[in-house]
Amino acid sequence: MTELVHTRADLARFRSAYPGTVAVVMTMGALHEGHETLLRAARERADHVIVTIFVNPLQFGPTEDFDRYPRTLETDLEVCRRAGADLVFAPAVADMYPGGAPAVRVNPGPLGEDLEGASRPGFFHGVLTVVLKLLQLTRPDLAFFGEKDYQQLTLVRRMCRDLDVPVEVVGVPTVRERDGLALSSRNRYLSTAERAVALSLSRALAAGVAAAGEGHDAAAVLTAAQAAFGVGGSGARLDYLVLTDPDLEPGPVRGPARLLVAAWVGETRLIDNAPVQLDPAG
Ligand code: PAF
């Protein structure tokens, strides 16, 4: 049985009745198979699973798609039921931010200004602020996040470590369509032609992973990924394609690494990433 609550008082009432291990899966709704995989992973590890559904205005820039962001509560609830969630917390903006937009926000540090943060100023301040609030409200033992939003996952881990938030952050691998496209709530904005163009992202990652598998160094892996993306000619507008340390730390890359890509396809901004194993001797 999946209960739906909208207020923090109702959330607290259900939460305090849960014995054992509690997991949270935070979402902005528009749930797809990728979220369902997160929920099932949470279900396997925890006695109780709480899903939060909240389109967080703090993480949308003035020109971004807050109003356009899909709101599909009824179908989201079906996904939560199917995956065995115990509780769905879907607050209104006024419930999350009763005093209006908060003056005090979590500062993500330098990594928050890089990659996604470079294109979306204030984005990670908004993400980490709502994640911290939702962690306080749900008080989970475990919090599950998709690797699809790899920089977000890295920053959430870092916030919990740096601010001593007592929760285990669990990353769950990206779910893909058969042709490689990473599942994302934003894929629904793509036309058929744009969807074909969007494959440049996963194609670039696959080429990078393959080049690393053949023993190529970091520079050659990046070149292979760029060529497969079709820089300048794929129809997608590349924002970044980078090969970094798996913790997104600056410095030389060798051994386990992460290849990350972001690009515009028409009006839609897509991101993707993959683990890459480079020669540790580099
Ligand atoms: O990944 C998302 O859907 C959001 O950034 C999150 C973590 C739910 C915070 O609003």
Q: Kindly report the protein residue whose alpha carbon is nearest to atom 3 of ligand 1.
A: 27
Index of the ligand 1 atom closest to the CA of residue 185: 3
214 three-state secondary structure? coil
35 known member of a binding site: yes
133 known member of a binding site: no
Would strands 256-265 and 142-146 be described as parallel, antiparallel, or unpaired?
unpaired
> How many Å apart are CA 107 and CA 109, to the nearest integer?
6
Give the domain ranges of the chain. Answer: 3-172, 185-275
Q: Tell me the CATH number for domain 3-172.
A: 3.40.50.620
105's CB contacts (< 8 A; 6+ apart) are 58, 125, 126, 128, 129
* Alpha carbon distance, N-terminus to C-terminus of the chain: 52
> How many Å apart are CA 67 and CA 96, to the nearest integer?
17
pLDDT of residue 234: 73
A 10 A CB-CB count for 52 gives: 25
Residue 143's beta-bridge partner residues?
24, 169
Q: Kindly report the protein residue whose alpha carbon is nearest to atom 8 of ligand 1.
A: 27
Q: Which of 150, 274, 153, 263 is nearest to 212 (CA)?
A: 274
| Dihedral over alpha carbons 58, 271, 260, 239 (to 10 degrees) | -90
Question: Ligand 1 centroid to 217 CA: how many Å?
Answer: 34
Query: Which residue is it, tokens 């990350």?
Result: 260
Residues with CB under 6 A from ligand 1: 26-28, 56, 59, 127, 130-131, 149, 152
**35 is an active site residue:** yes
- Global pTM reads 0.96
The domain 185-275 having CATH identifier 3.30.1300.10: the answer here is yes
pLDDT of residue 232: 66
Q: Kindly report the protein residue whose alpha carbon is nearest to atom 1 of ligand 1.
A: 27
A 10 A CB-CB count for 16 gives: 8
A 10 A CB-CB count for 76 gives: 23
Q: Which of 238, 270, 276, 241 is nearest to 257 (CA)?
A: 276
Per-residue pLDDT of the chain in tens (282 residues, 90 and over written 9): 999 999 999 999 999 999 999 999 999 999 999 999 999 999 999 999 999 999 999 999 988 879 988 899 999 999 999 999 999 999 999 999 999 999 999 999 999 999 999 999 999 999 999 999 999 999 999 999 999 999 999 999 999 999 999 999 999 999 999 999 999 999 999 999 999 999 999 999 999 999 999 999 999 999 999 999 997 677 899 999 999 999 999 888 999 999 999 999 999 999 999 999 998 886
191 known member of a binding site: no
Candidates 35, 48, 125, 216; catalytic one: 35
Q: Which of 224, 217, 225 is nearest to 253 (CA)?
A: 217
Q: Angle at CA 249, nearest 5°, toward 207 and 225?
A: 10
- Angle of the 123-138 helix axis to the 8-16 helix axis, nearest 10: 50
Q: Which of 98, 68, 73 is nearest to 186 (CA)?
A: 68
